[in-house]
Chains A and B, each alone.
Chain A
Amino acid sequence: EVQLLESGGDLLQPGGSLRLSCAASGFTFSTYTMTWVRQAPGKGLEWVSSISDNGLYTFYADSVKGRFTISRDNSKNTLFLQMNSLRAEDTAVYYCAKRRGTATILDHWGQGTLVTVSS
């Protein structure tokens, strides 16, 4: 059974930094592109970032480019999101998700971790 378990969410002040983790199990992690999607309170889904299976290729939404860094450790089956220069508008539940197959369609999602940025 595929499982994705996010951790690292917290309450912090604007300008702060945070690293989210997503522990994966139940599939061959090293062969799948992985993605972060966020959802602000009461709002819709927003794609944040994706990383290829080998970590060589990364993609970011304009809203986070230059502030967030996606990475992965295939030896530990773990996905990361390093978040710097956090803003109030980054407040959201952050989900990690696994790509289904040949396109970035997300067939398994974690339960999410809440990041709150507030002074």
Chain B
Amino acid sequence: DIQMTQSPSSVSASVGDRVTITCRASQDLSSWLAWYQQKPGKAPKLLIYEASSLQSGVPSRFSGSGSGTDFTLTISSLQPEDFATYYCQQARSFPLSFGGGTRVEIK
């Protein structure tokens, strides 16, 4: 099974800050990685697929990079609506697995 490790588990940031979240897989994923945003009481929302492709309708301040085992989600300029929890997910093989989540909080 593929284990996904996200860091940090939480980050405090201000509006306008650049925020970077990392995700490490225990096996080579190639580019089969997704990033999701979840706000309290809501379903997750797909942000990035195949490591670096922006899902339709997602603002361009979100970007993803990486391949193999190390991946990064970057928010270039944090906006008030971006305060949420972010999850990575490997889509290379079953069982699917998610990272533990990164909570982005207001500083």
Which residues of A are interface residues toward B (Cβ below 8 A)?
Answer: 35, 37, 44-47, 50, 59-62, 95, 100-101, 103-112
CB-CB contacts of B78-89 with A at 8 A, as 1s and 0s? 000000000101
- B44 contacts partner chain A, Cβ-Cβ < 8 Å: yes
Q: Tell me if A47 and B95 are in contact (CB < 8 A).
A: yes
Assembled-state Cα–Cα distance A105/B89 (Å): 8
Residue of B nearest to A95 (CB): B43
Q: Tell me if A44 and B87 are in contact (CB < 8 A).
A: yes
Q: From residue B36, how far is it (CB to closest CB) to chain A in Å?
A: 8
Assembled-state Cα–Cα distance A87/B36 (Å): 28
- B97 contacts partner chain A, Cβ-Cβ < 8 Å: yes
Q: From residue A29, how far is it (CB to closest CB) to chain B in Å?
A: 18
- B96 contacts partner chain A, Cβ-Cβ < 8 Å: yes
State which of A45, A59, A62 has its C-beta within 8 Å of the C-beta of B44: A45
State which of A44, A101, A106 has its C-beta within 8 Å of the C-beta of B100: A44
Asked if A103 meets B87 with Cβ closer than 8 Å, knowing A50-B94, A112-B43, the reply is: no
In the bound complex, residues from chain B placing their C-beta under 8 Å from that of A104 are: 91, 94, 96
State which of A46, A62, A100 has its C-beta within 8 Å of the C-beta of B46: A100
Residue of B nearest to A62 (CB): B95
State which of A37, A60, A105 has its C-beta within 8 Å of the C-beta of B91: A105
A sample of 14 inter-chain contacts (CB < 8 A) reads A44-B99, A44-B100, A44-B101, A45-B44, A46-B98, A47-B89, A60-B95, A103-B92, A106-B34, A106-B46, A107-B49, A109-B43, A110-B43, A112-B43
Q: Tell me if A47 and B96 are in contact (CB < 8 A).
A: yes
Assembled-state Cα–Cα distance A110/B45 (Å): 10
Residue of B nearest to A93 (CB): B43
